[in-house]
């Protein structure tokens, strides 16, 4: 036990030094000049202050939009199948179409079922009702919420917010926690925009005045422009925003514009549309509003272009960011908003630090009173455990919350469990007449399996909390898991190194415990 190899000693010391090095930024006031990989532990909403938003995904709007798309697909399917129909209409949760010919209904039903997975078609007295099955409807809503979470995450990250917490709550709600953001109005504005962009050809055959009187073709619709004017545009987009791969703010002739770039499929569609419609106008529609409708001067085959629209610099930056992050599948509604003041967060930190110090002092005093010199050795390992914990949390970029501080305090108490087991075993071996070296060796060897068992049970509990828990519960599980791993290392390996070095140097005839 007391003869450790040079390589093993070097490895133990290297781990300790790396842990201390990674923990150093937590004790520096200004860390802005430090590299991104060498930063302190991120503070959560309850410690730093910030905003908490509860959002609801309007999944009914997703279904309504999907039904509108299915209406167009039904029209195309029946026309291609040369089936006569009438009364085609989309509702919020279904599409209805009347097929008078009894012999054509079965063929029509088979065609309509192929429109999308999960489609059901029922014949109600000659009217075919097209709708999603309950399972398909549930999957559609789940996908909409999951997609909304990812897009919200991308938009929030674009703001430079550090470690936001974004997670699902219930079936169709999203919790967004923004540490350090005291005024979330700008964030609410961004999240309130669907940012669904598409390109449509302007229908010059119908005027806006005719469209308002109902004189408009079934393939066109009336859309309001950014400045209040109206446009008649084709219902079917030339190319959709889902084909965008990049968008950046730029300047053109001294004015802010937004550049965009399509993927290969979007570039092909865009090139064909502009080539076939030279002289026509192409409307850029964002969230059901025409931003601009320029005349096509020539074919645009490079898969990129610019959007002009009398933007300010801020508007151009915001639009580019929204287009980069992608369109929300459904609107988001803010149900609840709470703000945690920075002062309250500072009080929480002070209380947590005070509790940690009190717990640390109590543990140190107990160990010194119970085990004397070996209690002092344990004190060194407890402090080393704290450095390793902070270093690990900083390296992983974890967010520390009040439950996380509770996990640290709990770990301080648990960190000496292994030492207690080892020292008590040493006492028993010394009383049995073993030499100092043999008693110390037996203490570490015989207590090892008990230490592993006790820490593994705690680790399994922490993993269960992490898997099933959310938010603060996960924070507690993370710090507890890291604390268990570092306490096992320090309590066994570091303590072993210290005691081995002491025995080799002092050659005691009796253990001081």
- Give the span between the Cα atoms of 472 and 368, in whole angstroms: 34
Average pLDDT for 464-487: 85
| pLDDT: which is higher, 401 or 149 | 149
3-state secondary structure of 158: helix
Among 137, 155, 172, give the residue marking a domain's end: 137
Assess whether 41 and 67 both reside in one domain: no
Is 426 a domain residue? Answer: yes
* Predicted confidence (pLDDT) per residue in 336-393, tens digit: 888 877 666 778 788 888 888 898 899 999 999 999 999 999 999 999 999 999 999 9
Assess whether 375 and 502 both reside in one domain: yes
CA distances from 22 to 34, 392, 479, 480 (A): 12, 7, 16, 19
Please tell me the predicted confidence (pLDDT) of residue 14: 96
Please tell me the predicted confidence (pLDDT) of residue 386: 93
Residue 159: is its pLDDT beyond 60? Answer: no
Average pLDDT for 290-305: 87
* Predicted confidence (pLDDT) per residue in 230-245, tens digit: 999 998 888 888 788 8
Assess whether 359 and 496 both reside in one domain: yes
Residue 219: is its pLDDT beyond 90? Answer: no
Residue 470: is its pLDDT beyond 80? Answer: no
Phi and psi torsions of 282, nearest 5°:
-115, 120
What share of the chain in percent tops pLDDT 90? Answer: 32
Do 332 and 287 meet the contact criterion of CB atoms below 8 Å apart? Answer: no
Assess whether 26 and 64 both reside in one domain: no
Residue 3: is its pLDDT beyond 90? Answer: no
Q: How confident is the model at residue 163 (pLDDT cuts 50, 70, 90)?
A: low
Assess whether 294 and 254 both reside in one domain: yes
Assess whether 225 and 362 both reside in one domain: no
- Give the span between the Cα atoms of 247 and 126, in whole angstroms: 49
Please tell me the predicted confidence (pLDDT) of residue 487: 92
Is 325 a domain residue? Answer: no
Q: How confident is the model at residue 162 (pLDDT cuts 50, 70, 90)?
A: low
Please tell me the predicted confidence (pLDDT) of residue 378: 93
Q: What angle, rounded to 10 degrees, do the helices at 495-506 and 373-396 form?
A: 140
What share of the chain in percent tops pLDDT 70? Answer: 97
Is 305 a domain residue? Answer: yes
| pLDDT: which is higher, 291 or 349 | 291
Assess whether 105 and 234 both reside in one domain: no
Is 484 a domain residue? Answer: yes
Residue 161: is its pLDDT beyond 70? Answer: no
* Predicted confidence (pLDDT) per residue in 33-43, tens digit: 888 789 898 88
Assess whether 67 and 34 both reside in one domain: no
Among 103, 122, 137, give the residue marking a domain's end: 137
Please tell me the predicted confidence (pLDDT) of residue 189: 81
Q: For tokens 């939009």, what's the residue?
A: 65
Name the CA dihedral angle for 443, 448, 449, 450, rounded to a multiple of 10 degrees: 70
Please tell me the predicted confidence (pLDDT) of residue 187: 81
CA distances from 350 to 178, 353, 355, 434, 478 (A): 21, 5, 9, 48, 21
Assess whether 448 and 349 both reside in one domain: yes
Do 48 and 180 meet the contact criterion of CB atoms below 8 Å apart? Answer: yes
Which domain CATH number covers 85?
Answer: 3.30.1240.20
Is 31 a domain residue? Answer: yes
* Predicted confidence (pLDDT) per residue in 79-138, tens digit: 988 999 999 999 999 999 999 888 888 899 999 998 888 999 999 888 999 999 999 999
- Give the span between the Cα atoms of 370 and 163, in whole angstroms: 43
Which domain CATH number covers 20?
Answer: 1.20.1640.10
Q: What is the mean pLDDT of the chain?
A: 87
Q: Model's pTM, two decimal places? A: 0.62
Look up the domain containing 287 and give its range: 197-311
Please tell me the predicted confidence (pLDDT) of residue 369: 93
Please tell me the predicted confidence (pLDDT) of residue 471: 67
What's the number of domains the chain is made of?
Answer: 3
Which domain CATH number covers 222?
Answer: 3.30.1360.200
Assess whether 489 and 378 both reside in one domain: yes
Is 177 a domain residue? Answer: no
Please tell me the predicted confidence (pLDDT) of residue 160: 47
Is 159 a domain residue? Answer: no
Please tell me the predicted confidence (pLDDT) of residue 205: 84
Among 137, 167, 182, give the residue marking a domain's end: 137
Assess whether 358 and 500 both reside in one domain: yes
- Weakest mean pLDDT among 1-15, 65-79, 86-100, 149-163: 149-163
Assess whether 14 and 92 both reside in one domain: no
Tokens of 180: 């350090």
Is 13 a domain residue? Answer: yes
Residue 166: is its pLDDT beyond 80? Answer: yes
- Give the span between the Cα atoms of 73 and 77, in whole angstroms: 6
3-state secondary structure of 20: helix
């Amino acid at each position: 036990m007391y003869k450790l190899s040079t390589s093993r000693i070097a490895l133990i010391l290297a781990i300790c030094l790396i842990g201390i090095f990674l923990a150093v930024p937590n004790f520096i006031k200004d860390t802005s000049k430090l590299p991104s990989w060498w930063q302190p532990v991120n503070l959560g909403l309850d410690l730093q202050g910030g905003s908490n938003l509860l959002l609801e995904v309007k999944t009914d709007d997703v279904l309504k939009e999907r039904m509108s798309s299915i209406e167009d697909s039904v029209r195309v399917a029946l026309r291609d199948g040369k089936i006569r129909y009438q009364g085609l209409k989309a509702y919020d949760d279904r599409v209805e179409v009347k097929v008078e010919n009894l012999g054509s209904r079965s063929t029509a039903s088979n065609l309509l079922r192929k429109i999308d997975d999960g489609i059901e078609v029922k014949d109600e007295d000659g009217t075919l009702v097209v709708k999603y099955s309950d399972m398909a409807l549930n999957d559609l809503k789940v996908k909409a919420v999951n997609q909304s979470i990812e897009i919200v995450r991308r938009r929030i990250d674009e703001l430079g917010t550090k470690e936001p917490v974004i997670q699902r709550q219930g079936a169709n709600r999203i919790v967004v926690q923004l540490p350090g953001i005291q005024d979330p109005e700008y964030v609410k504005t961004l999240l309130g925009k669907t940012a669904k962009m598409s390109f449509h050809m302007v229908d010059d055959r119908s005027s806006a005045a005719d469209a308002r009187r109902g004189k408009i073709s079934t393939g066109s619709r009336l859309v309001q422009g950014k400045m209040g004017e109206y446009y008649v545009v084709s219902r079917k987009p030339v190319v959709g925003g889902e084909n965008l791969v990049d968008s950046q703010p730029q300047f053109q002739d001294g004015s802010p514009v937004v550049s965009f770039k399509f993927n290969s499929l979007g570039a092909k569609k865009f090139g064909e549309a502009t080539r076939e419609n030279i002289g026509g106008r192409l409307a850029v529609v964002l969230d059901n509003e025409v931003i601009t409708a320029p005349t096509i001067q020539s074919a645009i085959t490079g898969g990129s272009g610019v959007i002009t629209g009398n933007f300010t610099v801020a508007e151009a930056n915001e639009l580019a960011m929204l287009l980069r992050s992608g369109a929300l599948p459904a609107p988001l509604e803010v149900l609840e908003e709470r703000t945690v003041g920075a002062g309250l967060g500072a009080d929480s930190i002070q209380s947590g630090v005070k509790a940690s110090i009190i717990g640390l002092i109590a543990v140190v005093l107990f160990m010194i009173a119970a085990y004397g010199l070996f209690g002092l050795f344990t004190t060194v390992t407890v402090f080393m455990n704290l450095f390793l914990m902070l270093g690990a949390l900083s390296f992983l970029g974890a967010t520390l919350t009040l439950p996380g501080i509770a996990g640290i305090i709990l770990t301080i108490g648990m960190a000496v469990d292994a030492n207690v087991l080892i020292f008590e075993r040493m006492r028993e071996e010394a009383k049995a007449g073993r030499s100092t070296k043999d008693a110390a060796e037996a203490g570490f060897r015989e207590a090892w399996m008990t230490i592993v068992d006790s820490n593994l049970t705690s680790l399994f509990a922490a993993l269960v909390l992490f898997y099933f828990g959310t938010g603060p519960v996960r924070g507690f599980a993370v710090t507890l898991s890291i604390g268990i791993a570092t306490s096992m290392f320090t309590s066994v390996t570091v303590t072993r190194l210290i005691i081995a070095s002491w025995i080799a140097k002092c050659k005691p005839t009796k253990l001081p415990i």
